[in-house]
Amino acid sequence: MATKPAPLPRLRVKLNLLHPQGITEKLPLKFIKWLISYGRFIVIAVEVVVVAAFVFRFTLDAQLDDLKRKINNEKPFIEGLSTDEALIRQTQLKLTTISSKYQELDKWSELLPKISRYVPSQIRFTSLALDKNGSSEISFKIIGKSKSNVDLSIFLNNLKKDPIFKNINLDTVSFDQGEISFTISGSS
């Protein structure tokens, strides 16, 4: 008779993919391993940044000292230019005032060339003041010096003959150091 073969023992394998096999490491131990492996690179990088910042600070301090020294060397020169700056500012203010007043009144553009046309070569103005009186009338006051009374009388007569000028008056006349000082007022 035929004998039955003996049954083979069955192998049972349990495979658990969800949990690691072996001893599980605790969190502090994992952190220490990470710190030893990757953390040292982070520490080295931080140290390099700190040393670089330290060296950079010394270079900035050296540059700052150089700039302070240069500024202190240039201070006397700049302070010496303060009078020139004040003169330039004063001149700019005068030019701005003249420009604004000149643009305000269209009649001034006619008045100044007319006055200058009548001025003889030997007369020089010390002061010329223009002022607006009323709606359209401009009054003027000329202070000047002349080497001869003939030039002064020619200038005065030319102003009186021109119909644009009114109320031409010779306010003051004086003789000082070989020159005639005069003041003429009028309106236009």
pLDDT tens-digit series, residues 66-77: 999 999 999 999
Helix orientation angle between 106-118 and 82-104, rounded to the nearest 10 degrees: 110
Tell me what pLDDT residue 67 has.
Answer: 95
pLDDT at 142 over 60: yes
Q: One-letter amino acid identity for 187?
A: S
- Where are the alpha helices (H) located in the chain, listed in sequence order? 27-34, 40-80, 82-104, 106-118, 149-161
Pick the CATH number of 106-187 from 3.30.1360.120, 3.40.50.20, 2.40.50.140, 3.30.70.2830: 3.30.70.2830
Q: Which tokens in the block code for residue 169?
A: 């008056």
pLDDT number for residue 178: 85
Read off the pLDDT of each residue in 140-159 and give the average, rounded to a whole number: 90
Tens digits of residue pLDDT in 28-42: 888 888 888 888 888
Please give the average per-residue pLDDT across 82-102, as a whole number.
Answer: 88
- Alpha-carbon distance of 33 to 25, in angstroms, equals 11
d(CA 64, CA 59): 9
Return the axis-axis angle of helices 82-104 and 40-80, rounded to nearest 10°.
Answer: 70
